[in-house]
Amino acid sequence: MPIRGRDYPMRRVAYGLTIALTIAVVVVELLHASVLLIFALTSLALIGLAWVLGQATESLGHHAGPRIGGILNATFGNAAELIITIFALSAGLTTVVKASIIGSIIGNVLLVLGASLLIGGLKNGTQSFSATIAGINASMLAIVAAALVLPTIFVATEAQRGGGSPTTLSIEVGVVMFVLYILYLVFYFRSPEGGIATGEGHAPFGRAASFALLIGATAAVAYVSEAFVGAIEPMTEEIGISELFVGVILVPIVGNIAEHIVGVQIAYKNDMDFSMAISLGSSIQVALLVTPILVFLGPLLGHPLDLVFTPLELGALGAAVVLTGFIALDGKSNWLEGAMLCGVYVIAALAFFFSR
């Protein structure tokens, strides 16, 4: 089935650019080009491939129906970032991996939600959304924050007294978080208040084409991710930025920018329920699905991953969760709230940029 819809020319351009960038990555890798060029090209290619992966997932979801489509989006919505972080974990870049977990959450809550409120508010004035659904997602984020904070507190207090291993505790926390994710999906299946985002409209591809595109995009993301991760350490040494900044800011933006843009576009169309479901739902998926997977894979890849974070990371996470709770209270939003969320994100980005 061919691509349908009025945005067909734009899609052709996007697919063409993505293919060209992916080929360019192969070329610069073979030519052993400069680290900065490799990092830049792989970042751009991953942005395009993440969008293609999202298109394939959404198309399959349309063929499977709204409920299964929601589960597919929930499960594969962060596939690009998961693949990137798995390669980073296999390379021993645990600082980048842990930072990307926090970065994805605060990026979705502060930057994406903030930009959505800002753009949507400027276009439509005061916007309304379901305080019930937003409250559920805000509560889930608070639970996520508690799960991520407690291992750090444990290390700061009990580990020095000869307590258990933080890695073991992290694996056990990961099990609990994964169970919570399953319960989250069960709640979504049984209640209209589940809050997992699903798309609207027609499937842009046929069923077989959607599946083939999903496989091809996943393979391409894996190849480009390996090159991207391989350039991180040399790049940070060459330009003098920290791996913490790369993990918190750059990796989540590269892996999720296509989904971020969709959330802002939907807010511009005055559908704040759907927009907030994308931004908050993606944060929950990262915390409850991506994080446990990385924790479980750590020992298998030879680089155990503990959920022990820096005070700066936890401070940014706490601020994001608290601000989300306040915004979800009244079921209304305006552009000023969005600008303030974006401002907090910029402040956090500056703090991570100057951290060492």
What DSSP string describes 119-152? HHHHHHSSEE--HHHHHHHHHHHHHHHHHHHHHH
Quick one: pLDDT band at residue 191, thresholds 50, 70, 90? low
| Best CA proximity match to 54, nearest among 256, 227, 268, 286 | 256
Q: Is 41 helix (H, G, I), strand (E, B) or coil?
A: helix
- CA torsion, points 183, 189, 193, 194, in degrees to nearest 10? 50
pLDDT of 326 strictly over 60: yes
State the pLDDT at residue 67.
Answer: 60
Asked if pLDDT for residue 92 goes beyond 50, the answer is yes
Per-residue pLDDT at 42: 93
pLDDT score for 157? 82
Helix, strand, or coil (residue 355) = coil
Residue 201 pLDDT:
58
Position 1 scores a pLDDT of 37
The pair of structure tokens assigned to 193 is 């208040």
Chain mean pLDDT for the chain: 85
| Ramachandran angles phi, psi of 260, nearest 5° | -60, -45
Least confidently predicted of 6-10, 128-132, 257-261, 301-305 = 6-10
**How confident is the model at residue 355, as a pLDDT?**
85
Q: Residue 351 pLDDT more than 50?
A: yes
CA 211 to CA 215: how far, in whole Å? 6
pLDDT of the residue at 2: 42
pLDDT over threshold 60, residue 196: no
Q: Which residue has the higher pLDDT, 243 or 160?
A: 243
Which pLDDT belongs to residue 4? 47
303 has pLDDT over 90: yes
- What pLDDT was estimated at residue 263? 82
With bands split at pLDDT 50, 70 and 90, how would you rate the model's confidence at 131? confident
Mean pLDDT of 64-80: 67
Q: Is the pLDDT of residue 60 over 80?
A: no
Q: Is the pLDDT of residue 47 over 80?
A: yes
Q: Are 232 and 96 in contact (CB under 8 A)?
A: yes
**C-alpha to C-alpha distance for 96 and 328, rounded to whole angstroms:** 30
**pLDDT at residue 192 tops 70:** no
Asked if 151 contacts 169 with a C-beta cutoff of 8 angstroms, the reply is yes
Average pLDDT of span 107-114? 91
Task: Render pLDDT for 225-275 as a digit per residue (tens, 0 to 9).
Answer: 999 999 998 988 888 888 899 999 999 888 888 778 888 888 898 988 888
* Domain 8-353 indexed as CATH 1.20.1420.30: yes
Q: Is the pLDDT of residue 199 over 60?
A: no
How many C-beta atoms surround the C-beta of residue 67 within 10 A? 14
How much is the average pLDDT of 322-345? 91
The region of weakest confidence among 249-258, 283-292, 335-344 is 249-258
Q: Is the pTM of this model over 0.75?
A: yes
